[in-house]
Amino acid sequence: MWNQEDLARATPSDLSDLAQASIRGLAESEDPAAFGYLLELTRLVGESLGLAARTLAHESSWSQVANIAGTSRQAAWERWSSS
């Protein structure tokens, strides 16, 4: 089990692996509550994408965001520039 210190030291790759395993576990669960948790995670991921895009754009550029997202700079800005 991961504790707060482990999470604070984890790399983005570690966190991604943990998130993917957790999402798969929820998707395969027979507990009806798991579906609700997946819906909540969907909302959270959408909000987090916007925050991450704005953070990256501030530290780098909207071109960098667009490059990672596989879209144009204009499309990235239109999608994620406002909160």
Mean pLDDT (whole number) for 35-52: 97
Q: Are 52 and 59 in contact (CB under 8 A)?
A: no
Please tell me which residue, 78 or 82, carries the higher pLDDT value: 78
Say whether pLDDT at 69 is over 90: yes
**Dihedral, 15, 18, 20, 22 alpha carbons, nearest 10:** -140
Q: Are 64 and 56 in contact (CB under 8 A)?
A: yes
Say whether pLDDT at 32 is over 70: yes
**What confidence score (pLDDT) does residue 49 get?**
96
Give the pLDDT band (50/70/90) at residue 80: very high
**What confidence score (pLDDT) does residue 2 get?**
82
Residues 2-16 pLDDT 10s: 899 999 999 999 999
**What confidence score (pLDDT) does residue 34 get?**
98
Mean pLDDT (whole number) for 70-74: 97
